[in-house]
Amino acid sequence: MKKQSPRTRRHIRTRQAILDAALSIVHEDGPDGLSMRTLADRIDYSPAGLYEYFGSKEEIIAEVCDEGHRRLAAYMLEVESSLSSTDYLYGIGLAYIRFALENPDHFLLMFSSPQMAGDAPEDALPQDSESSYGILLHGIERGIDAGAFHVRPGFGLSEMGYAAWTLVHGMAMLRVTALRDVPLDLDAADHQALLNFMRGLQAA
């Protein structure tokens, strides 16, 4: 399992250049600005040449989405783990929303299409500690272990994680779609919604 030949090395390099250019275009001009021709132009290739590296445009977009999920997870990993369990979970939620607000087109691309999203749902949601959902689950687990969150029949870690995910996802999604340009203090509203969520977790 050594290094590859210079050819395959260039291959993966230009492959990455394609993905980088695709991501740039999405961030600059939105998903509609991403065409095989503009993409090829940016890296001085012919449109046909791209098909030497990807089977279709959808494949490229799928990889852009994967990168998005990695970055989303990175946002969530930035939260200080020294915080109290409630503050920590609160920070996780804010990080999710912040990623959406700072990368609206990327976020929309990741979660607007029925497929996308690297979900390998065998019989459960991805619990690996490097995926965004896994990090979220970890935050809740901390609260449970600390006795801050109250587990009850039918409402354990999984259900709490689902509830938290849907809440922050709904806030993020609405703020980049229907509530874009609404002149209200949605940060404050998010704050209150998260507090209310945790009140439910803490209730005896």
Provide the binding-site residues for its own copies, judged by CB under 8 A.
104, 108, 111-114, 116-117, 119, 121, 123-125, 154-155, 158-160, 162-163, 165-171, 173-174, 176-184, 186, 188-189, 192-193, 195-203
If DSSP codes are grouped into helix, strand and coil, which group holds residue 155? strand
Residue 37's binding partner among its own copies, DNA, none (Cβ under 5 to 8 angstroms by kind) is: DNA
Q: Which of 58, 65, 22, 62 is nearest to 40 (CA)?
A: 22
Number of amino acids touching DNA (CB under 7 A):
26
Question: Cα–Cα distance between 97 and 8 in angstroms, integer?
Answer: 38
Please give the DSSP secondary-structure letter assigned to residue 152.
B
Q: What distance in Å separates the CA atoms of residue 157 and residue 99, rounded to the nearest whole number?
A: 24
C-alpha 35 chain-centroid distance: 23
Kindly tell me which of 79 and 109 has the beta carbon lying closer to its own copies.
109
Q: What is the DSSP letter of 3?
A: P
- Partner whose footprint covers residue 168, from its own copies, DNA, none (CB < 5 to 8 Å by kind): its own copies
Q: Is 56 in the site for DNA (CB under 7 A)?
A: yes
In the chain, alpha helices (H): 6-29, 36-42, 57-77, 85-102, 104-112, 132-145, 157-176, 186-202
The one of its own copies, DNA, none whose footprint includes residue 48, by CB under 5 to 8 A per kind, is DNA
Q: Is 49 in the site for DNA (CB under 7 A)?
A: yes
Q: Which does residue 13 touch among DNA, its own copies, none (CB within 5 to 8 A, set by kind)?
A: none
Contact residue for DNA among 16, 24, 29, 58 (CB under 7 A) = 58
Query: Among all chains, which residue has been given the structure tokens 């619990």?
Result: 127
Distance, CA of 194 to chain centre: 19
The residues of the shown chain that bind DNA, judged by CB under 7 A, are: 5-8, 10-11, 14, 34-38, 40, 44-49, 51-53, 55-58
